[in-house]
């Protein structure tokens, strides 16, 4: 599951409580008979879990001086606490998968490896080959603290059958908000419980990141450039939230999902015409002849991406260097393509699109090519700050109130901005 949809509000005492609880780490790692043993933690299951085993086995077979052990740590929601506990206990893994939204938190640990020099001294690595959003999320105050592990984005997924029945032309790359609103109204049939569009409205990050894409499409920002004040209560933010209000409250063309994920089932059963969603949902629509298009434009077609990171930890020079050797190999263009072919995940490097096997990938996974192309529209990222969960909570409550008809856009955003400014001003 991607960091676009999951955020954890961290407690300041997590270090102490988790350290007291203890956590199995990497005590078996180190050097033995000239072989450097390193440990990697991940939360992959199913296709990604199998792909992880396949690629690690391949690495171990081709790199006899390094042996990588893979450990499944369970649900990724708890990964950061487990890593912090392992750090507090002096026994972190060498590499761990962490959500990109946690970069600012993990950057504060002295055990986290800063990768700038590794990247600088490894010309074959090519940091600029990663998508811009990935690089931004992995960088905290100029320090690169992660290597991209996953990238995705929001696009418009639509039901061709419902469009045909309504006599509507399919969405194009030139669609605007007006096209979206008009199509949603025409696709809505109350007597059949059919909605034109869906929006998750549980005030969580699932609510917020869809709003943030709309905000950026009007050239708005979440915070001011110095990161000290809220900026989402601008004219751009009001326009974005007004669009949602018009569609949900005035037009009644939006199915408001309470966070239970029913929108996917309803889309698959033909009761929703359009979704703003990511490639992770495509396998949930076996009954739909769907199409995928970039997001309709406000002033631009920006989308939002939620990259995640592989974070490396300092367990001594030999293990740190071995961890870099593995992660450099694992995230190379060839291995990225191999991973995408096995899992359907979007390629984390732009150069993958030029490899011969890329055509096989986009043929194997229906609709994924548009999501790949849409990565060029992922220009901005959420603020890389430990305070983002609190910022998100304030925005989410504002959006939810408006969509439920309990507040007006400008009023709701101003109140949320006051909360965020207080959060940012606190020591």
Q: What is the pLDDT of residues 127-155, one digit of tens each?
A: 999 999 999 999 999 999 999 999 999 99
Asked if the model's pLDDT at residue 245 lies above 70, the reply is yes
Asked if the model's pLDDT at residue 1 lies above 90, the reply is no
Q: Which of 8-12, 94-98, 258-262 has the lowest mean pLDDT?
A: 8-12
pLDDT bin (cut points 50, 70, 90) of residue 29 is: low
pLDDT value at residue 393: 98
Asked if the model's pLDDT at residue 314 lies above 80, the reply is yes
Q: Which of 20-24, 224-228, 229-233, 348-352 has the lowest mean pLDDT?
A: 20-24
> Distance between CA atoms of 232 and 396, rounded to whole angstroms?
12
- Which residue bears the tokens 């994924």? 368
Give percent above pLDDT 90 in the chain: 88
Fold of 14-151+306-377: D-Maltodextrin-Binding Protein; domain 2 (3.40.190)
pLDDT bin (cut points 50, 70, 90) of residue 74 is: confident
pLDDT value at residue 11: 34
Fold of 155-304+387-425: D-Maltodextrin-Binding Protein; domain 2 (3.40.190)
Domain boundaries for CATH 3.40.190.10 within the chain:
14-151+306-377, 155-304+387-425
According to DSSP, the β-strands at 35-42 and 95-99 are parallel
Tokens of 115: 């990768």
CA distances from residue 149 to 94, 293, 308 in whole angstroms, order as listed: 15, 24, 5
Asked if the model's pLDDT at residue 310 lies above 70, the reply is yes
Q: Which of 71-75, 223-227, 249-253 has the lowest mean pLDDT?
A: 71-75
What average pLDDT does the structure give for the chain? 92
Instruction: Decide: helix, strand or coil at residue 385.
Output: coil
Tokens of 9: 């509000």
- Average of per-residue pLDDT across 307-312: 97
Is the pTM for the entire model greater than 0.75?
Answer: yes
Give percent above pLDDT 70 in the chain: 92
Tokens of 357: 């096997």
């Amino acid at each position: 599951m991607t960091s676009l949809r999951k955020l954890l509000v961290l407690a300041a005492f997590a270090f102490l409580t988790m350290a007291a609880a203890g956590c199995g780490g990497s005590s078996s790692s180190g050097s033995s008979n000239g072989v450097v043993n390193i440990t990697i933690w991940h939360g992959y299951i199913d296709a990604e879990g199998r792909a992880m085993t396949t690629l690690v086995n391949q690495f171990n077979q081709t790199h006899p001086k390094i042996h990588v052990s893979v450990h499944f740590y369970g649900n990724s929601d708890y990964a950061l606490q487990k890593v912090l506990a392992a750090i507090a206990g002096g026994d972190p893994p060498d590499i761990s998968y962490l959500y990109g939204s946690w970069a600012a938190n993990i950057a504060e640990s002295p055990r986290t490896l800063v990768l700038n020099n590794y990247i600088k001294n490894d010309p074959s690595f090519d940091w600029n080959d990663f998508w811009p959003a990935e690089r931004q999320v992995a960088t905290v105050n100029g320090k690169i603290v992660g290597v991209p592990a996953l990238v995705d984005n929001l696009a418009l997924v639509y039901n061709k059958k419902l469009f045909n029945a309504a006599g509507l032309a399919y969405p194009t790359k030139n669609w605007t908000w007006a096209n979206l609103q008009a199509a949603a109204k025409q696709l809505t049939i109350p007597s059949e419980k059919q909605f034109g569009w869906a929006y998750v409205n549980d005030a969580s990050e699932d609510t917020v990141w869809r709003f943030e894409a709309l905000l950026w499409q009007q050239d708005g920002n979440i915070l001011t450039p110095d990161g000290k004040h809220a900026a989402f209560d601008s004219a751009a933010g009001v326009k974005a939230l007004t669009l949602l209000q018009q569609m949900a409250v005035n037009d009644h063309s939006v199915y408001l999902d309470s966070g239970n994920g029913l929108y996917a089932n309803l889309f698959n059963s033909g009761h929703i015409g359009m979704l703003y969603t990511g490639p992770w949902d495509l396998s949930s629509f076996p009954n739909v002849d769907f199409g995928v298009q970039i997001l309709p434009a406000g002033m631009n077609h920006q989308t939002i991406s939620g990259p995640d990171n592989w974070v490396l930890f300092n367990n001594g020079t030999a293990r740190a260097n071995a961890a870099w050797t593995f992660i450099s190999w694992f995230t190379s263009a060839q291995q990225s393509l191999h991973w995408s072919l096995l899992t359907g995940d979007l390629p984390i490097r732009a150069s993958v699109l030029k490899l011969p096997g890329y055509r096989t990938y986009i043929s194997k996974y229906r609709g994924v090519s548009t999501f790949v192309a849409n990565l060029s529209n992922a220009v901005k990222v959420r603020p890389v700050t430990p305070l983002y969960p609190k910022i998100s909570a304030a925005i989410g409550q504002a959006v939810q109130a408006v969509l439920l008809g309990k507040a007006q856009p400008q009023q709701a955003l101003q109140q949320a901005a006051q909360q965020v400014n207080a959060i940012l001003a606190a020591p």
